[in-house]
Amino acid sequence: MTLDDRKARVLRAVVEEHIETGLPVGSRVIAKRYRLGVSSATIRNEMADLEDTGYLDKPHTSSGRVPSDRGYRFYVDELMPKKGLTAEESRAVESLFRTRIRDVVSFLRETVRLVSETSNYLGFVFGPEGEAVTFRSIHLLPASSDKALLVLVTDIGFVETCLIEMSDASKDELQSMSEILSRNLTGVTMDQVADRAYSLLREETSRYAMVVEQVVEFLRSVTMSDGDRLYVGSPVNLLNLPEFRDVDRLKGVISAIETNGIIQTLLTKSTDEADPAIRIGAENEVEAIKDISMVYGTFSAGRTEGKIGILGPKRMDYGRAVAIVSMFEEKLSGFFSRGD
């Protein structure tokens, strides 16, 4: 389905006007503000047609028009101009990726904060999945008289640490256990590593049963931690939007997002879309966020991948959102491949 040139221009004007103001837009405003060379009456007719074909909605009988999901969809697919980031914004992003990385978790958390800040919507990152990740190295270090520190480094730079209680173990013993672990588990994928570690350690140093158990338990918890993959920014930005003056709506959205699983299922459901992908309103197929849009993309991290995206109102600045997501995608892919 396509639209003739003038209808497309009217639709574009309506969408952009509505994105800017948040209010229903009338024919007069379009005629005045957007130089289409025709009168408001003509625009009115075009708008009526656009409503009939489902590109525009009317909140009530005699008010201006608002883009429908379909209208937005046509807009982002066909009409939307490509946008870039300002020099200053790019610089802010660059600088995040130049700072010393302490660990991947806080790095991703910082990323989310920056996405939220530059977009003025709600940023999120869905971290690289664990299953395809392998270990680059494993160490057991003495930490105190009765504790050892287990350090794991994955091939994409994740560092996980964990304190292990142990009654007595010499430095040498730790060292040897450490080496056994390293030799045998390096390169093994996450979903196999716990089992491997278990059989391995048990036969080699059975007198440390308690330690072995703790190591295995920790490895299990690392691999299972699918819920931990989602990082969401602070929803304060959404409070500034007129569509969320209604507290209950905001509450619904926030709790939907915080309820682990919603975004995950949304993202994994993603089909052969463009990248960055755009999901508009009801396209998300979840009641609670049916007037929320989502722009997200995929970044690669070693053999696996993660998602980064922005949640905002349907009248979000899609062009800008796409620019931001693209930028971060690229940077994140770069970041995670750098470590190879």
**Residue 34 sits in the site that holds DNA (CB under 7 A):** no
Of residues 97 through 116, those in contact with a copy of itself by CB under 8 A are 100-103, 105-106
Q: How far is the CB of 220 from a copy of itself (least distance, A)?
A: 10
**Residue 63 sits in the site that holds a copy of itself (CB under 8 A):** no
Q: Which does 339 bind (CB under 5 to 8 A by kind): a copy of itself, DNA, none?
A: a copy of itself
CA distances from 240 to 83, 121, 245, 266, 312 (A): 23, 9, 8, 25, 11
Q: Which one of 45, 192, 234, 260 is in contact with DNA (CB under 7 A)?
A: 45
Q: Which one of 144, 170, 206, 271 is in contact with a copy of itself (CB under 8 A)?
A: 144
Measured at the CA of 308, the angle between CA 302 and CA 312, to 5 degrees, comes to 175
Q: How far is the CB of 250 from DNA (least distance, A)?
A: 19
Q: Which one of 1, 5, 35, 60 is in contact with DNA (CB under 7 A)?
A: 60
**Residue 63 sits in the site that holds DNA (CB under 7 A):** yes
The pair of structure tokens assigned to 312 is 């905002």
**Residue 62 sits in the site that holds DNA (CB under 7 A):** yes
**Closest to 75 (Cα-Cα) out of 55, 57, 59, 58:** 55
CA distances from 40 to 45, 74, 139, 195 (A): 9, 23, 73, 72
Contact (CB, 8 A) for 92 and 184:
no
The pair of structure tokens assigned to 178 is 């450490």
Q: Which does 184 bind (CB under 5 to 8 A by kind): DNA, a copy of itself, none?
A: none
Could you give the 3-state DSSP secondary structure of residue 103?
coil
Neighbours of 230 (CB within 10 A): 21
* Residues contributing to the site for a copy of itself (CB under 8 A): 100-103, 105-106, 136-137, 139, 141-144, 147, 149, 151, 153, 157, 159-163, 214, 217-218, 221, 234-236, 239-240, 244-245, 247, 250-251, 254-255, 258, 339-340
